[in-house]
Amino acid sequence: MDANAVAELEQAGVRVDAPESLYVAVEWDGEGKHVRPVGERVQIRAGEQLAHVTLKPISQLFTGDAKPPSFTKAPPLEYQPFFLLIEATAAAYCRAVRNTETDQEFERLYRHLLRRPDRNPLFSHLQGAVRLYMSLRDVSQAEFEAVIQRLHQSAKHFETHTGSINYFQEVLRGVLGA
C-alpha cells in the first residue's frame, strides 16, 4: 500500500475504500488521435469523477509475504476488487479506443504483466490498474502473481480460435455494464 497515493486520492475526493469502483482512464494526446501510455502520474475514473494520482512502480508496492488461496475456481470475495479494477481498466480501454483485443492478446498481455515489459498501449493501462490497487491495499508478490496468472488463464479459457474476442464479450463487457 502507498499512503501517499491514498492521501492524494482522498484529497481529490475519491473513495479509496472501494477499489472495485475505480479504473485507469484513457488519456489522449493533444490531437486526440493517440492514447498516451500510463506513466508515473495516472488518470483514475471513479464513476463520473476523474482524478490524477502519482503511483509507484509495481516492484515497489509489494507488501508482506501473504500466500494467496487457490484461484482454480472463482476467486474468493476478498480478491474480487483486485480482479475488477484490472478488468474494468481493460474494458474501459477497449471501449475508449473502439477496438476489442483478442483473447490471445489478453492472454499474452496478462502473461507479460507477470514480467512487466512495456508492450501494447493497453499494457500500460493494465499495469496502472495493478499499481493503483496495490497503492490502496497490501498485496504480496505471491498474491500479485496468483491474480495475474488467474487472469491469464481466464483469457486463455475463453479463446476458441485465433482472433476470438470471447473474453471481452463474456467477461469485460459485463464489468462496466457495457
pLDDT at 90 over 70: yes
Intra-chain end-to-end CA distance of the chain, in Å: 30
> What is the side-by-side order of every strand in the sheet holding 49-54?
22-24, 41-46, 49-54
Q: Which tens digit of pLDDT belongs to each residue from 27-83?
A: 998 888 888 888 889 999 999 999 999 999 888 888 999 999 998 888 899 999 999
Q: Which tens digit of pLDDT belongs to each residue from 114-144?
A: 765 334 567 888 888 999 999 999 999 999 9
177 or 144: which leads in pLDDT: 144
Q: For residue 66, how many C-alpha atoms fall within 13 Å in the half-sphere facing its CB? A: 15
- All three cell numbers of 43, joined, read 488518470
* Helix, strand or coil, per DSSP, at residue 78: helix
On the 0-12 / 13-18 / 19+ scale of CB atoms within 10 A, 92 is: buried
What ranges do the domains of the chain cover?
Answer: 3-171
Q: Which tens digit of pLDDT belongs to each residue from 59-69?
A: 888 899 999 99
Confidence at residue 177, expressed as pLDDT on a 0 to 100 scale = 72
Lowest mean pLDDT among 7-11, 89-93, 172-176: 172-176
> Whole-structure pTM over 0.85, yes or no?
no
pLDDT band at 176 (very low <50, low <70, confident <90, very high): confident
Note the helical H segments in the chain.
3-11, 80-97, 103-115, 121-136, 141-158, 166-167, 173-175
Place of cell 497503492: 135
Residues recorded for the chain: 178
